[in-house]
Amino acid sequence: MKKLKYLLPLIFALTLMSFSCSKDDDDPIVPQTLEEKYPDWKNLRWVSTDGVSTPDTYPKLEITISDNLVTVTKTTDNSPIIGKYTQANISSSTATFSGVYQDYNGMGSTLTCTNVTVGATQITLTCLGNTYVLNK
């Protein structure tokens, strides 16, 4: 009987140890990049500004996401103004870019676009004083 008293806890301990979780068995948590999180925003190209789509219309807006870097390019009739951001928060009606990698023409560390509408092939948004339509 004494042997059984000692043998049962030993068997219980071995069983518990063999079924416990180990760090080697766990799947690593892979953080999602901005590009994976917002695939519709990966490569947005200008279609129109405030309803005008002629080639000489300015300003033009383009947004690209590559890995964890968002690039917002506003082209005026003079030259492009580029902002690069390391964070994005895009909801059903607002897109906010922050975590400045390169300041957007002195506009500060956060760029917010409102009235965001995501369609099948286009995204419409109000940003930097104009309403833009962008192709996906």
DSSP letters spanning 66-99: ETTEEEEEEE-SS-EEEEEEEEEEE-SS-EEEEE
Q: Which of 9-13, 45-49, 119-123 has the lowest mean pLDDT?
A: 9-13
pLDDT tens sequence across 60-100: 999 999 999 999 898 988 778 788 888 999 998 999 998 87
pLDDT at 111: 85
pLDDT tens sequence across 21-50: 555 556 677 779 999 999 999 999 999 999
Provide the CA 30 distance to its chain's centre, in angstroms.
15
pTM for the full model? Answer: 0.73
Q: Which of 6-15, 44-53, 114-123 has the lowest mean pLDDT?
A: 6-15
pLDDT at 45: 96
Q: Residues near 71 by Cβ (< 8 Å), separated by ≥ 6?
A: 63, 64, 65, 82, 83, 84
Sign of CA dihedral 105, 87, 110, 135: positive
Whether 116 shows a pLDDT value over 60: the answer reads: yes
Q: CA-CA distance, 132 to 9, in Å (whole number)?
A: 71
Architecture of the structural domain at 34-135: Beta Barrel (2.40)
Report domain extents, the chain. Answer: 34-135
